[in-house]
Amino acid sequence: MRPSLKIALAWMAILVALTAGPGLGRPADPSDPQIVSVPTAPGLAVRLRRMGLDPFAEWEGQIYILASPRGLASLRSAGISYAPENGRLSSSRFAAAGSQGGLNGAYHSYKELESDLFALEQQYPALAKVYDLGLSLEGRHIYALKISANPARDEAEVLFLGCHHAREWISVEVPFLLGKYLVENYGLDSDIQRLIDSSAVWIIPLVNPDGLEYSIQTYRYWRKNRRDTGDGSFGIDLNRNYGYQWGADDDGSSPNPDSEVYRGPAAFSEPETRAVRDFFLGRNIRALVSYHSFAQTIIYPWGYTTVPAEKDAAMEAIAAHMAALIQAVNGRTYSYGESSRDMYLTNGDLTDWAYGVSGIPAYTIELPPADEIHGGFFNAEADIASIFSENLPAMLYLIDWSIRDFRPAPPQDKNDPGRDAPGRPRRIIPSLLGWNPRSGGN
Ligand SMILES: [Zn+2]
């Protein structure tokens, strides 16, 4: 399927989820963004983005926009007439997709996740350790779970992250469940044992704890963190706040605090992105996946430009392999490609930054659903297990890939705090299947 059509279909699911009504949190507040549509015209989407608006889909001659009251005012003052879409697509067929048992049902809240992470550490002390990477804006901990059988040894390190975007609840579950699976199967499965004996798997399941709590307690559709921007709006898009080509243009992110893709006043202005940055720079991560939802897509740098990255072919080969492994489980197809070409322009995202500063393969995986109207951001609780299990072989493959050709550093002095010391300077190992750190260029 053409990516543009696929994306349009994926976005349609957002519309439906947004307009489904029941189970989506509190009733609509006048200050909440609402969906409107305007007739498509050449260059209009770019113009809308420059106005700080969030044109998120084009479908059958209409551009759909998620707009705050201020956004609607700027449409009016620009003489662009729009039609409200909220409710237009609602149907009992879709309503069930938003239902969750309790507020967050089987999905983790911040507190539930915290407790489950420490429970894993307690139950599997030889394999699992929880690290605190720092505090969010509202003072919640950003945790990393390290899975390793040889924590004192220099090992190949792989990183899986979730929930840059608050409403993408499934993106917490998939990396968390990986950690749980690895410790529970280490003693039962010789393949898992082999992987964990030779690697350190890092899991940061909740980059945006404040946003997640707000999404659970107050407004299910919340995306950004909870920064008070001082002008009556809240939130910075954490996945537009990283410091590589940050703010390269106003198409891949917005300078407008009102926007859903507001990049913040400066790169790394937010404690959440600084926590990830400082962690990453203190380690020697050889590959990473940042989970999002939804689209069923595996994308890699660049996001800020459509020019292929120096390692485009190598990143594509890994993505293709992951997509095939995923499809073999449940038959779901995940497309793959360069972020800017397969999805849309983004600047300041984690993967551009990680690849840009260290040359490692860095992926965004947009989890299901994709092209069916099955709830968009609001995956059914019953789908958590199948979405995790279809992603597991690709995760294990990436760990295995990271082990290959890894050469550990010489044994450390006994008094050396070791690789576990946060903030330890990272080294770049250039021998990774010809995966050399990039040296300038695109
Ligand atoms: Zn996302």
Looking from the CA of 60 toward its CB, the CA atoms found within 13 Å total 3
Return the residue matching tokens 């950690």: 179
Same domain (yes/no): 75, 200: no
Ligand 1 center to 2 CA (angstroms): 21
Ligand 1 center to 186 CA (angstroms): 31
pLDDT category at 70 given cuts 50, 70, 90 is confident
Number of domains observed in the structure of the chain: 2
297-300 sheet: strands from edge to edge:
128-135, 141-147, 199-204, 156-162, 285-293, 362-367, 297-300, 335-338
Whether 437 is in a domain gets the answer: no
At position 341, the amino acid (one-letter code) is R
Beta bridge partners of 67: 34
Same domain (yes/no): 64, 125: no
Same domain (yes/no): 186, 232: yes
Task: State the Cα–Cα distance between residues 403 and 128, nearest whole angstrom.
Answer: 19
pLDDT category at 439 given cuts 50, 70, 90 is very low
Task: State the Cα–Cα distance between residues 356 and 277, nearest whole angstrom.
Answer: 13
Whether 256 is in a domain gets the answer: yes
Ligand 1 center to 413 CA (angstroms): 42
Interval 254-260 mean pLDDT: 93
Same domain (yes/no): 338, 359: yes
Same domain (yes/no): 149, 274: yes
Whether 414 is in a domain gets the answer: no
**Digit-coded pLDDT (tens) for 113-122:** 999 999 999 9
pLDDT category at 275 given cuts 50, 70, 90 is very high
Residue that finishes a domain, picked among 98, 126, 142: 98
Same domain (yes/no): 42, 162: no
Same domain (yes/no): 276, 333: yes
pLDDT beyond 70 at 81: yes
Determine contact, residues 241/263, Cβ cutoff 8 Å.
yes
Same domain (yes/no): 86, 162: no
Same domain (yes/no): 179, 270: yes
Residue that finishes a domain, picked among 78, 98, 118: 98
Identify the CATH number of the domain in which residue 366 sits.
3.40.630.10
Residue that finishes a domain, picked among 56, 77, 98: 98
Same domain (yes/no): 288, 338: yes
- pLDDT for position 34: 77
Whether 421 is in a domain gets the answer: no
Would the CA dihedral through 176, 277, 200, 313 be positive or negative? positive
Q: Give how far Cα 186 sits from Cα of 129, 176, 178, 308, 325, Å.
A: 15, 16, 12, 39, 21
Ligand 1 center to 153 CA (angstroms): 34
- pLDDT for position 343: 81
Beta bridge partners of 335: 297
Identify the CATH number of the domain in which residue 8 sits.
3.30.70.250
Task: State the Cα–Cα distance between residues 30 and 154, nearest whole angstrom.
Answer: 54
Task: State the Cα–Cα distance between residues 153 and 146, nearest whole angstrom.
Answer: 13
Question: Has 310 been annotated as catalytic?
Answer: no
DSSP state of 315: H
Please tell me which residue in 366, 372, 381, 390 is annotated as part of the active site. 366
> Cis omega before residue 11 (within 30°)?
no
Q: Residue 78: which domain range?
A: 3-98
At position 123, the amino acid (one-letter code) is Q
Please give the mean pLDDT across all residues of the chain: 83
Whether 77 is in a domain gets the answer: yes
Determine contact, residues 58/5, Cβ cutoff 8 Å.
no
Same domain (yes/no): 164, 245: yes
Q: Which letter, b or e, does each residue of 305-335 get, where b requires 16 or more Cβ atoms within 10 Å of its Cβ?
A: beebbbbbebbbebbebbbebbeeeeebebb
- The structure tokens listed for 434 are 């010809």
Determine contact, residues 227/264, Cβ cutoff 8 Å.
yes
Ligand 1 center to 123 CA (angstroms): 32
Whether 420 is in a domain gets the answer: no
**Digit-coded pLDDT (tens) for 220-235:** 889 999 999 998 899 9
Interval 73-93 mean pLDDT: 70
Whether 415 is in a domain gets the answer: no
* Stretch among 64-78, 195-209, 289-303, 423-437 having the lowest mean pLDDT: 423-437
Ligand 1 center to 54 CA (angstroms): 14
Ligand 1 center to 367 CA (angstroms): 10
At position 86, the amino acid (one-letter code) is N
Whether 389 is in a domain gets the answer: yes
pTM exceeds cut of 0.95: no
Same domain (yes/no): 122, 15: no
Would the CA dihedral through 311, 317, 323, 329 be positive or negative? negative
Determine contact, residues 216/377, Cβ cutoff 8 Å.
no
Ligand 1 center to 194 CA (angstroms): 32
